[in-house]
């Protein structure tokens, strides 16, 4: 089985405003914020309203994310999580099938 090398992957996407609003409400929910904060060492967090679609690993994207978001991966003030699939379903977001969200430690 050979590996297929992807030179360019378009990770861009747009969300319907209603779906985006519903997703942001879920990602800002107090219970969810506490759950994410607990896994991040107990520090309180706030949602930055930044989302990205994971991309295939390549020489241009060694972290599996668009290059513009790599600064959050290396930042000690931010954490990146996978958006839970049930949140995507509740917000009626089916394309893209996976998203990541950026949170800031406060």
CA 80 and chain centroid, separation:
6
Is residue 70 classed exposed, middle or buried when 0-12, 13-18 and 19+ CB atoms within 10 A define those classes?
A: middle
Q: What are 2-7's contacts with CB under 8 Å, separation 24+?
A: 5/58, 6/56, 6/58, 7/58
8 pLDDT higher than 60: no
Instruction: Convert the pLDDT of each residue in 69-102 to its tens digit.
Output: 999 998 999 999 999 999 999 999 998 999 999 9
pLDDT band of residue 66 (cuts 50, 70, 90) is confident
CA 69 and chain centroid, separation:
10
pTM: 0.84
User: Looking at residue 94, what is its pLDDT?
Assistant: 92
């Amino acid at each position: 089985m050979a590996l297929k090398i992807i030179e360019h992957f378009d990770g861009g996407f747009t969300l319907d405003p209603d779906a985006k609003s519903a997703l942001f409400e879920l990602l800002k929910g107090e219970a969810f914020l506490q759950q994410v904060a607990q896994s991040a060492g107990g520090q309180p967090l706030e949602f930055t309203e930044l989302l990205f679609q994971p991309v295939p690993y390549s020489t241009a994207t060694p972290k599996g994310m668009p290059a513009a978001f790599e600064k959050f991966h290396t930042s000690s003030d931010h954490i990146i999580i996978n958006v839970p699939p049930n949140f995507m379903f509740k917000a009626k977001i089916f394309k893209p099938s996976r998203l990541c969200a950026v949170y800031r430690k406060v």
